Chains A and B, each alone.
Chain A
């Protein structure tokens, strides 16, 4: 009995940890810790072949300035090159030649198109600074810094066009940075150095994406938000809090690869020349006033500019929304492999990815993402129909047999041998060929999880409306039964925001359970009654699109099961 109690306690705790924790205890603000002693910027990223000199990328702490200005003040205070693109608003900083001001035209903070555009990049010096910087590292050479004011040949950077930034170091080196932009979210940065001096110069190109302040993550354990990259075809994901502890994570030199920082829907990633051997690095630094700074960077190979020669290094910056078709398009165009892994497909990527494509296709044809969800669910159900059908059929049969089995158990309960024989005889007589079995059912779980996950991650669900009161499928159902769906002028607390769709979910789940045979274990039976309530509360805070998927899935299951049971009854 004690065992049983312990077991129950352990189960409740596990389930609570699995599902409830992040819901009940949203991640707290990062406490201010003791300042780390590691000097971030001093950590060299030594490339192979030159042990005497360790080239340095400006570390996160170089950006540690007092953040007092607002974004607009900051932007107005410096000379800028305006970006003109169908998908991006923003500008480049002439000082430092940074890409540091970017908003996404197609995505807004709120459902309404009137609300502000999503701000992706912010200038250096702000509390939420987020920018990309490029440059050269070289021993005893005057190279352009983050404060260098470049000469420009244009005041605007148009989609499909380019701007040239130049800077002469006064000692025979002419630096040139050409930044171009495509119609979507990729900048191409071509850096060159022309050596007019009498001596050969060794230089290492670098690029970095720096972000200040730990962004709010959606906090669900099934989705990675933070730093990431793909090196030698292997995805590496680094959480913000892990990096706070580790300070630096270096990747062994690889050919090409990409590295960046991602939110649920947005990404800023560096894609260095895919033919070059590159060192990648993740790092974190905390300023004296407690501001966390995260940086991803790469350091390219040593390039030697002989007198009279020019060396150059090309890299790309992706800064925008993680639209799957765009990411795969860039895989081909830039030749960067596994760039689509920026979308967190998860362990079941081989199922999740096809679902993504199917959803996107259906969305294109049906015009409503909610309808696309319903259609895809039908598709998946059809796929499993033969399996589910045999299983329901036998379940219905077993259900009609259960009184007879109980009778047998009563009659021969003491004599197991006899009971066994009688049961077998009964199955034979009734031609009960039960269920498709546990193995196929468990094999289906990953498929439904993958479907669930693709809905959770899909950017197309963001701000996508459905019928009635659902204006954003990626947000929780805004209604609540506790104010009679808006009839009572009262705003219930978060816990009591039980909307119409979560309620329908609970009801449909309850109905579906009623069609299943009751478990014989009384504890299990009790759990079964309780579970729809638990799920109703739990799913109330989930994106409405997921709840609608779940309701629809239940409805389809019930319909299928109901038809089969009716048919069985008729046959009798």
Chain B
């Protein structure tokens, strides 16, 4: 794991352990945005992973998609979003 990836994951973990438990809300997707972020960073590194996670985060609102939305197996600029599957 690169230092950058470590830092990125640290931010997510702090959110998961420190902030998320005191918030009532939850995610529209499974895996949750934070779990998605961790997996994305793990698999695609800090930069690409963070970009994927940010994209997911920005989809996670009342007018966005919902349901099962895993980290994509192959990530190029066109296949990152998985909205189409969720209809």
A residues with CB within 8 A of B: 3, 6-7, 10-11, 14-15, 387-388, 390-392, 394-395, 398, 405, 416, 420, 423-424, 427, 432-441, 444-445, 509, 512-513, 516-517, 519, 521, 523-524, 527-528, 531, 535, 557, 561
Contacts and interface: CB of A to CB of B under 8 A. Distances in A.
Contacts, number: 118
Contacts of B22: 509, 531, 535
A10 to B, nearest CB: 5
Given A435-B28, A437-B28, A439-B61, A427 B67 contact: yes
A458 to B, nearest CB: 23
B4 interface: no
Given A424-B67, A434-B66, A439 B60 contact: yes
A405 B29 CA distance: 13
Contacts of A405: 30
A104 B10 CA distance: 48
Contacts of A7: 6, 9-10, 13
Contact of B17 (A11, A437, A441, A512): A11
A395 B26 contact: yes
B68 A423 contact: yes
A556 to B, nearest CB: 10
Contacts of B27: 434-435, 437-438
Contacts of B33: 438
Contact of A438 (B10, B24, B25, B70): B25
Given A391-B24, A394-B26, A528-B21, 16 more contacts: A10-B6, A11-B14, A14-B14, A395-B24, A423-B67, A434-B28, A437-B60, A437-B62, A438-B28, A438-B60, A439-B64, A441-B26, A516-B24, A519-B20, A521-B16, A523-B17
Contact of A392 (B17, B24, B64): B24
B24 A388 contact: yes
Nearest to A398: B26
Nearest to A435: B28
B57 interface: yes
Contacts of A535: 22
28 contacts: A3-B1, A7-B6, A11-B13, A11-B14, A387-B62, A388-B25, A391-B24, A392-B24, A395-B25, A398-B26, A434-B28, A434-B29, A435-B26, A435-B66, A437-B27, A438-B27, A438-B32, A439-B58, A439-B64, A441-B23, A441-B25, A441-B26, A524-B16, A524-B20, A527-B17, A528-B21, A531-B18, A531-B22
A420 B70 contact: yes
B86 interface: yes
A509 B64 CA distance: 30
Contacts of B18: 11, 15, 531
Given A398-B26, A427-B67, A433-B66, A438 B57 contact: yes
B22 to A, nearest CB: 7
A517 B1 CA distance: 31
B68 A440 contact: no
A519 B27 CA distance: 12
Contacts of B14: 11, 14-15
A322 B21 CA distance: 36
A436 B24 contact: no
Top 8 nearest A-B pairs (CB, nearest first) are A441-B25, A437-B60, A437-B61, A439-B61, A438-B60, A527-B17, A438-B33, A528-B21
A394 B28 contact: yes
B12 to A, nearest CB: 10
Contacts of A437: 25, 27-28, 60-62, 64
A390 B33 CA distance: 18
A438 B62 CA distance: 9
A485 B76 CA distance: 62
Contacts of A438: 25, 27-28, 32-33, 57, 60-61
Interface in B1-51: 1, 6, 9-10, 13-14, 16-30, 32-33, 35
A11 B12 CA distance: 10
Nearest to A416: B70
B38 to A, nearest CB: 9
B10 A390 contact: no
Contacts of B68: 420, 423-424, 427
Contacts of A424: 67-68, 85-86
Interface string B51-75: 0000001101110101110100000
B61 A427 contact: no
A423 B70 CA distance: 12
A528 B62 CA distance: 26
A423 B35 CA distance: 17
Contacts of B20: 519, 524
- In this complex, the member of A395, A398, A441, A444 whose beta carbon has the largest number of chain B beta carbons within 10 angstroms is A441
A439 B28 CA distance: 10
A420 B22 CA distance: 30
A550 to B, nearest CB: 9
Contacts of A436: 25, 28, 61-62
A150 to B, nearest CB: 60
Contact of A513 (B21, B64, B85): B21
A527 B60 CA distance: 24
A434 B32 CA distance: 12
A484 B33 CA distance: 44
Nearest to A433: B66
A519 B22 CA distance: 13
Nearest to B42: A3
B30 A423 contact: yes
Nearest to B34: A438
A203 B42 CA distance: 68
A437 B60 CA distance: 5
Nearest to A534: B18
